[in-house]
Amino acid sequence: MLWDYPFRNFTGSLKNSSISITLKPDFIYFNLNFMKIKSFIAAFFLSLGLFSAKAEEGLWIPMLLQHYNIDIMQKEGLRLSAEDIYSINQASLKDAILIFGTGCTGEVISGDGLVLTNHHCGYSSIQSHSSVDNDYLTNGFWAMNRDEELPNPGLKVTFLIRIEDVSQNVLGKMDDNISEVERDSIIRERIAGLKKENEDGNGYKAVIKPFYYGNEYYMFIYQEYNDIRLVGAPPSSIGNYGEDWDNWIWPRHTGDFSLFRIYAGADNKPASYSPENTPYKSKTHLKISTAGVKEGDFTMIMGYPGTTTEYIISDEIKFMLETSLPKKVAIRDARLKILDKYMANNDTIRIQYASKYRSISNAWKKWEGVIIGLEKTNALARKAEAEENFREWAMSNPERQSEYGNTLQALRDKNRELVKYSLVYDYSNEAVMAAEIFDFALDCNSLVYSTSEMSKEDKRAAVDKFKKRMDAFFKDYNRKVDQEIFQTTLAYYYRDIAPEFHPDIYNVINKKYKGDINKFTAETFNKTIFLQKDKLLELLDQIPESKFNISLRFQKDPVLVIFNSFAAVYSKKVIPAYDNLKMDMQVLYRSYMRGLMEMQKDKVFYPDANFTMRVAYGKAEGYKPADGIEYLEYTSLSGAIEKHYMDSVVYSLPEKLIEIYNSKDFGRWVNEKGEVPVCFVASNHTSGGNSGSPILNADGYLIGLNFDRNWEGTMSDVYYDVSICRNISVDIRYVLFIIDKFAGAGYLINEMDLI
């Protein structure tokens, strides 16, 4: 259904639309298969009807394990205490886990600050060191000694020092009768106070976040390190084996890992890059088990899941399922096809856009899986059933009735109003901001504003710093690609969004350009100064001297004129209404959540993910994707080799790996059957951001590296179902095998603690 979305056939013209997008044969095949797989799986899951209770569901706050569920975890097999996992009195597992960059997890695996994370998390760093002549993405990179490790300006890792329940500090002594706006501003003030108190002069960062829709608040004290060097990465043909074809898919044979090292100043404290810095000594590091993992074994994950919304009402899921996701998928589909067309025939563009391609396609394919998973697990009906239970409970006595009697209905009413604004929101992110030129132009513009009050010297330094950003932009930018994306998404917006949210710029296109978006776009790209590097540089160099002309010049630039025309609509007609509705819903959800917890007093509720450290546990187990099919919980190197001989462009292992396979030189990295294990699945509840998270055994030893989820289970962000939700990890033995036998970097293994 999705692949027949009507906007597929646009030209750039508003009046007579038909953009023809050339499909790479692989993608036609892929899309057709997607459709087939969808209906096939649909039939199977519908035949199963309702699913059994959720067992392994949950993203637990590490500090609360003792209080919540450590005994359940121990019953399931865990041989650690809550204190071994999270402690502020002794080194504990949490001290080895870090935020890698701004959206992934990583872990320290040696006494010398060696960090393991995913290849896809290190991807942009690996790419930034790559060029056509020196292509680390294609060939891999291995520092053969510490001097060869490569610094990555801008990359940081963040350690959690401690968590504190600050609910009382934030919510205590608050008059029940104040307005939500007043309440909000009191909360903000208290948070700012807490932040100041806990940050001042100690080099730490305090982050305070709401949990359970603001019924509780927790503070996280962090320490950031920013001299992070690239140590090793396998070639993409291993690290991204199966490419987008296999993304979100099980069975899997991807060695999705890379290695970095944290460097610190002489006192082991954070320091900016310096050749004098030395490897960081963390409080603890993970020990590695080479004993492997078997079906049914207890597994545990620690990391930073980004966002989940497990308690939203069925109406929100319905909008997601029927409108928002299909439309977002269609826009990304079009963008990917444009990239695909250009990347297929040009190596420079292939390298320039490799990382961008991955980030677009990651969500694109996931959203497809979410739709499938929600449909198959009957999530809508099950949510509605739970809501009916809540309604009955709320109506069953006068006290509850006055507290919660209207909550659900009010949420539904607000949601009905919200959806039209939500769609514009979706399109502003997915369509309008899809063109790279917008982001760059906005950065240039904010350089002018942010430097306006600075001294001449500071202005000069800011401009010089910005030139690096500019070089990075142009290094990975292709005008033709961006122009085609821009004209395509502009047309999508016009077609899909109600006229009341069309900015003035469309009148200009219709009148002056007779509706020809392609012509309008071409002219915009010809005229804009943001693509004329020399002229732009000349202008930026004037910043230390004058500012007015430059900002005026920027504001008249066609790219910013277009942006401002969208911004005018959003600021008047969308953002205020959207924010108000969201705020109202937030209040209602706070009450709904409180009600749910009151209704099921014996149940331990976990808070939605909000990119704070969480623990999830489950077991290594396969699943049944369809009638008559049962997936095993692990894959091995022979399966990767089989795929290699399937004659598909996405499966092409390096020759050296094939040779090692043929010579059976596996060393000690084998299971009891003599195979090299590659990946395994387990029923740990994870989300985006858990990439790079360690998967640990019952003793807390590292057995693998989480990197993905199965396609049928990607809906776990809104609805977890243990029968089909699985996280996918690289077996640590495959990581070690590649480092040792393939890369010949066994010296790295010497610094690890293997059990």
Residues near ligand ASP, by CB under 6 A:
686-691, 708-709
Phi, psi for residue 18 in degrees, rounded to 5? -170, 80
Q: How far is the CB of 35 from ligand ASP (least distance, A)?
A: 23
Number of neighbouring beta carbons within 10 Å of residue 297 = 18
What is the rounded distance in angstroms from the CA atom of residue 422 to the CA atom of residue 419?
A: 5
Looking at the Cβ atoms of 62 and 122, the one nearer to ligand ASP is: 122
Residue 113 or residue 688: which is nearer to ligand ASP going by CB?
688
CB half-sphere exposure, 511, CA atoms < 13 A: 5
Which CB, 127 or 691, lies closer to ligand ASP?
691
Q: In the complex, what is the shortest distance from the CB of residue 332 to ligand ASP, in angstroms, rounded to a whole number? A: 16
Q: Measured from the CB of residue 688, what is the shortest distance to ligand ASP in angstroms?
A: 4
Question: By three-state DSSP, how is residue 57 classified?
Answer: coil
Point out the residue whose Cβ comes nearest to ligand ASP.
691
The vertex-633 CA angle with 59 and 245, nearest 5°, equals 85
- Residue 448 contacts by C-beta under 8 Å, 6 or more apart in sequence? 543, 547, 550, 551, 554
How far apart are alpha carbons 175 and 163 in whole angstroms?
27
- DSSP at 24: P
Written as one string, the DSSP assignment of 566-620 is HHHHIIIIIHHHHHHHHHHHHHHHHHHHHHHHHHTTTSPPPPPP-SS-EEEEEEB
Spatial distance between the Cα atoms of 192 and 170, rounded to a whole number of angstroms:
10
Minimum separation from the CB atom of position 689 to ligand ASP (A): 5
Q: Judge if the upstream peptide bond of residue 251 is cis by omega within 30 degrees of 0.
A: yes
Residue among 489, 487, 559, 495 nearest 516 (CA): 487
- What angle in degrees, to the nearest 10, is found between the helix axes of 407-430 and 479-496? 140
As measured in angstroms, the least distance from the Cβ of 635 to ligand ASP is: 17
Q: How far is the CB of 650 from ligand ASP (least distance, A)?
A: 17
Cα dihedral 92, 93, 99, 104, rounded to 10, equals -170
Shortest Å, Cβ 717 to ligand ASP: 8
Instruction: Select from 417, 388, 355, 404 the least CA-distant residue to 584.
Output: 417
Minimum gap (Å) between residue 495 Cβ and ligand ASP: 31
- CB of 307 vs ligand ASP, minimal distance in Å: 10
Longest dimension (CA), the chain: 76
Catalytic positions, please? 120, 256, 691
Three-class DSSP category at 279: strand
Positive or negative torsion for Cα 139, 142, 148, 154:
positive
Looking at the Cβ atoms of 521 and 691, the one nearer to ligand ASP is: 691
Q: Cβ 614 to ligand ASP, closest distance in Å?
A: 13
Are 291 and 732 contacting, i.e. CB atoms less than 8 angstroms apart?
no
Between 688 and 704, name the residue whose CB sits nearer to ligand ASP. 688
Omega within 30 of 0 (cis) for the link into 576: no
Q: What are phi and psi of 303, to 5 degrees?
A: 175, -160
> Among 721, 15, 82, which residue's Cα sits nearest to residue 372?
721
Q: Which is nearer to ligand ASP, 271 or 360 (CB)?
A: 360
Instruction: Identify which of residues 103 and 111 has a Cβ nearer to ligand ASP in the complex.
Output: 103
- Residue 617's beta-bridge partner residues? 300
Which is closer to ligand ASP, CB of 497 or CB of 703? Answer: 703
Radius of gyration of the chain (CA): 26
Nearer to ligand ASP, 528 or 686 (CB): 686
**Cα 516 to Cα 383: distance, rounded to the nearest angstrom:** 46
Residue for token digits 């480092």?
Answer: 739
- For ligand ASP, the closer of residues 489 and 686 by Cβ is 686
